[in-house]
Chains A and B, each alone.
Chain A
Amino acid sequence: GAVVSQHPSWVICKSGTSVKIECRSLDFQATTMFWYRQFPKQSLMLMATSNEGSKATYEQGVEKDKFLINHASLTLSTLTVTSAHPEDSSFYICSAGGGGDWTDTQYFGPGTRLTVL
């Protein structure tokens, strides 16, 4: 099956610093990747849709200047949380479509747990 990796798996940073999270599709090419945020005991909230070679599409209420997304290749998308604050602490998960018989199937990365002190 399709494999999506994410790095790092967890990160602790000080308030005001920036953190970059990488999402890679390891055995398939992903034109589109998605970034989600998940709070404890809650559902996945889509933050943005990342399209290779073009600007990301952000969901309403998500600050695009704070959550910078770059999709430089068909196998890599990055999310940078700029000037992180404690309220940005969360579980960030990416997903990528394709890789199997149906391109509408999405496979998730293992997630990155961000803690901002």
Chain B
Amino acid sequence: GENVEQHPSTLSVQEGDSAVIKCTYSDSASNYFPWYKQELGKRPQLIIDIRSNVGEKKDQRIAVTLNKTAKHFSLHITETQPEDSAVYFCAASLGSNYKLTFGKGTLLTVNP
């Protein structure tokens, strides 16, 4: 089955700096790659996703890149703010109605 590795497990940055979280996946058939943000005690919230027919997607300060050949994808957050502090999970899926396989998460701390 699919295996998703996520790095780093913790990341601390200064407000205004950029943060990058990287994930690799094992199943070349995976074609959907979402990123979720989870605050303590709350539900994971989808922040951005990318499908395998696209190499990069951007939404304001958040961007995701996908390298299908290397089977890795990354989350980029620019101009970080304290409210970006949370746990971020990457995931991979075969697509519609298929299960998500999650990475182990990255605890991002943005220091004011």
Residues of chain A at the chain B interface (Cβ within 8 Å): 31-32, 34, 42-44, 46, 49, 93, 95, 97-98, 102-111, 113
Contacts and interface: CB of A to CB of B under 8 A. Distances in A.
B61 interface: no
A43 B43 contact: no
Contacts of A31: 97
- Size bracket, chain B contacts: 20 to 34
A26 B101 CA distance: 25
A106 B100 contact: yes
Nearest 5 CB-CB pairings of A with B? A103-B96, A32-B97, A108-B43, A104-B96, A104-B32
B52 to A, nearest CB: 11
Contacts of B89: 43-44
A81 to B, nearest CB: 19
Contacts of A46: 99-101
A103 B31 CA distance: 13
Interface string B79-112: 0000000000100010111111111110000000
A43 B41 CA distance: 13
B43 A111 contact: yes
A43 B104 contact: yes
Given A43-B89, A44-B44, A106 B34 contact: yes
